[in-house]
Structure 1
Amino acid sequence: MTATPSNLSIRVPTHLPTTFIAAALTYLILDAAGLRGPWMALLKTLPIILLALIARHRLSGSTRGLTLAALALSALGDLLLALDFPGQFVYGLSAFLLAQLAYAFNFLRGADFRCRRSVLRGAPVLLAAFLLAQLLLPAAGELAPAVAVYFLAIVTMALGAAAHRGNSTLLFVGAVAFMASDTLIAIHKFVTPLPMAGTAIMVTYYSAQMALLYGIGRARA
């Protein structure tokens, strides 16, 4: 008899991934059409909530707990960034900082920085991070310290994914996509407005979250 991996459950309701894609596409289309309001903020979080339901079925143990925490904090960050109130960006950034720390701790538990693969993956991440810091931190003004702390957290998360043992290619792709999404946000906010920024940010963001979820399950299988 083959033992079932302790960190992975294969019983995922088949409608959940399809519903996630449908919810993400619905938000992207309505957002591109210019619809705004509190209900759009809630719709923005729906795909992440659906990923949390998938995580609840797909993962187990501390891997599931940390992934659910990261997704819950991400949904909170989405909600805060979608609403209009003083300090919205700082509060949203704080929620995502905690999400990145949860992801980082989750991935670092399975990391092996001694293997050649981690160096080949991690070196480009560090180079990109250095170049982006040179561009973004001077432009962030008084928010530079907060942006720098967040920057360190997401780079740590990406390095943890890069060095994760097992079949971690999808996990690393998700981490890179998350960095790309946040880079688009920072460039659009601090450097120069980007065309179709909202759509590009959310496509990479939703793709990153789904890849991280399925990637950590595959890596821990």
Structure 2
Amino acid sequence: MTTAAPATGRSSRSDAPFLIAFAAAAMLYMGLDATGLGGPWMASLKILPIAVLALLARRSLGGPTRTLVLAALGFSALGDVLLALEFPHQFVFGLGAFLLAQLIYAGNFLRAADFRCRRFWLRGAPVLAAAFLLAQLLLPAAGELALPVLVYLVTIVAMTLCAAGHRGDSALLFAGAVTFMASDTLIALNRFIAPLPLAGTGIMLTYYGAQLALLYGIGRARA
């Protein structure tokens, strides 16, 4: 393949096997998860789509961008595994792994962000408003987890704002960041407010979609 499939924002023909494998792995995991299956082997299956994205990033990106994207995907996969296993404080450990992933994504996007442009404020204002409302809803319900939840909320909002301010063609990148926020919002609502119908499927569908959009979005924005 060429070295710039995500860098151009267009998937070349040689991306097709990766995208097919990604979609197949994601659908397989979501389908099995919807049946209630569990166990360590499901954790391995859960991270398979992220592993496919890491292979695609390794082939398609270069320099510090590739390193940072691979690190973010790695911590995301670690968070997936921690949240899928049953052990004391697994939610906090999983949250911590994803917090590191969000910090790395934010640092990557910050390298080319412009917070003075009108586009940033048009994108960022609704994100801040939604985060404020979400904090008011979740923090009282989170109990002893209120502080970790607040720290994570601030971090993912920062990541989204860095994506909002990214120069270049950053619409896909921003969409991926917002979708990541939506996925985490579903997790929080399902855990702290009330069980949601088909929560697992909705969470993973938005999560996998967000990671794919971030990968292609960062390449397109930096082209």
Q: TM-score range by the shorter chain?
A: over 0.9
The equivalent residue for 1:113 is: 115
The equivalent residue for 1:93 is: 95
The equivalent residue for 2:145 is: 143
Aligned residues: 217
Computed over aligned residues only, the root mean square deviation of the Cα atoms, in angstroms, reads 1.5
Q: Offset at 1:33?
A: 1.4
Which amino acid letter does the alignment assign opposite residue 183 of structure 2?
A: S
Which amino acid letter does the alignment assign opposite residue 112 of structure 1?
A: D
8 Å contact 1:8–1:60 — kept in the other structure? no
Q: Offset at 1:57?
A: 1.0
Distance 1:109 1:151 in 2: 21
Output one character per residue of 1:144-189: Cα deviation in whole Å (capped at 9) or x when no partner. Answer: 1111111111000000011100000000000000000000000111
The equivalent residue for 2:209 is: 207
Q: Offset at 1:58?
A: 1.3
Q: Which runs of structure 2 are paired with 1:46-195 in the superposition (5 Å)?
A: 46-195=48-197
Deviating above 2 A after TM superposition, structure 1's stretches of 4 or more consecutive aligned residues are: 7-14
Distance 2:142 2:16 in 1: 43
8 Å contact 2:75–2:101 — kept in the other structure? yes
Q: Offset at 1:47?
A: 0.3
Output one character per residue of 1:34-81: Cα deviation in whole Å (capped at 9) or x when no partner. Answer: 111111110000000110011101111111111000000000000000
Distance 2:15 2:27 in 1: 20
Distance 1:8 1:122 in 2: 24
Distance 2:146 2:62 in 1: 37
Which amino acid letter does the alignment assign opposite residue 118 of structure 2?
A: R
8 Å contact 2:124–2:161 — kept in the other structure? yes
Distance 1:134 1:77 in 2: 25
8 Å contact 2:47–2:77 — kept in the other structure? yes
The TM-score, its normalising length taken from structure 1, stands at: 0.95
The equivalent residue for 1:44 is: 46
Distance 1:38 1:83 in 2: 7
Q: Offset at 1:14?
A: 3.1
The TM-score, its normalising length taken from structure 2, stands at: 0.94
Which amino acid letter does the alignment assign opposite residue 173 of structure 1?
A: A
Distance 2:128 2:111 in 1: 20
- SS class of match (1:111): coil
Which amino acid letter does the alignment assign opposite residue 21 of structure 1?
A: A
Which amino acid letter does the alignment assign opposite residue 80 of structure 1?
A: L
Which amino acid letter does the alignment assign opposite residue 176 of structure 1?
A: V
Q: Offset at 1:13?
A: 4.5
1:20 aligns with 2:55: no
Listed as ranges, the gaps of 5+ residues in structure 2 are: none
The equivalent residue for 1:217 is: 219
